[in-house]
Amino acid sequence: MQSSMSKVRRFLYIVEFVLAFGPSFIVLVLALIFSPALLLGLDQDILSKRLIFVLIILGFGGFWGAISLIGLTLFPFQENTKPTRLKLYIMPGVIASTMASFYAGTMSLYLLPVFIAPLLMTLQLVIKQRYYFST
């Protein structure tokens, strides 16, 4: 385990977390707000409607895992989510962000960093907490 983390390092982790997950979280909340209109849209087939619904659910599950992971990183000695449960929370977010990255890449390459940043931040935190996941 690591020793106590300095306040500056904690602040930098929080800033990095907000910058990485902020834009994609805003997109996720907007998708949730406009999901009735998206699901009732007449120009979409049933498969794309289901995909939007699944991406919203997976995204919120993954965001819950990301919050647990940053909490574990900032306060490693406090009681936190068990490793197997944390893996189950993180995987939906990785799936949702990967699917959204493919979709954003087909629309515009400028949107791609919005959905790749959470993947990179999650990878960084998982590598930092690799000993926690191996227990």
* Helix H or strand E encompassing 9: helix 7-33
Q: What is the pTM of this model?
A: 0.85
What is the structure's pLDDT at 25? 93
Q: How many other C-beta atoms can be found within 10 angstroms of the C-beta atom of residue 61?
A: 18
Please indicate, yes or no, if residue 20 is contained in any of the structural domains: yes
pLDDT tens track for 43-91: 667 787 888 889 999 999 999 999 999 999 998 888 788 999 999 999 9
pLDDT tens track for 102-135: 888 888 888 888 889 999 999 999 999 998 888 7
What is the structure's pLDDT at 111? 85
Domain that holds residue 18: 7-133
What is the structure's pLDDT at 107? 85
Domain count, the chain: 1
Please indicate, yes or no, if residue 2 is contained in any of the structural domains: no
pLDDT tens track for 1-33: 455 678 999 999 999 999 999 999 999 999 899
Please indicate, yes or no, if residue 1 is contained in any of the structural domains: no
